[in-house]
Amino acid sequence: MSETSKVKDSRIDLRVTQEQKELLEKAASLRGISLSAYTLLHLLPIAKQDIDTQERLILSDRDRDLFMPIMENPPELQGNLKTAIKKYRDKYGQ
């Protein structure tokens, strides 16, 4: 279901000064849309961006918590990787 076909049964009230209201109404009028539409047009992308930024920060924290123990206690090298590193060190030194 698209955003426009969903039933809009929730409400948000904002307290603003008369000057702020007039400014927002003028901006909405210049776009030819209602104050509610103007407010949503500008607030929804910002809300989505804030959520996205926060979720990336949380993911980064989680990834750090997984990554750091491996860096502090790396697993023992095995197989071809161990052989390749030995050949490199033999050829080029530590």
Q: Tell me the CB-side half-sphere exposure of residue 67, using CA atoms within 13 A.
A: 6
Q: 0.85 cut: is pTM over it?
A: no
pLDDT at 23: 98
Find the angle CA(12)-CA(18)-CA(20) to the nearest 5 degrees: 70
pLDDT value at residue 60: 85
pLDDT of 86 reads 92
Tell me the mean pLDDT per 10 residues along the chain, length 94.
Answer: 76 96 98 97 98 86 91 92 93 88
Q: Quick one: fold of 15-92?
A: 1.20.5
28 phi-psi bin (left φ>0, alpha ψ -120 to 50, beta other): alpha
Distance in angstroms (rounded) separating the CA atoms of residues 78 and 74: 12
Burial (CB count <10 Å: 0-12, 13-18, 19+), residue 63: exposed
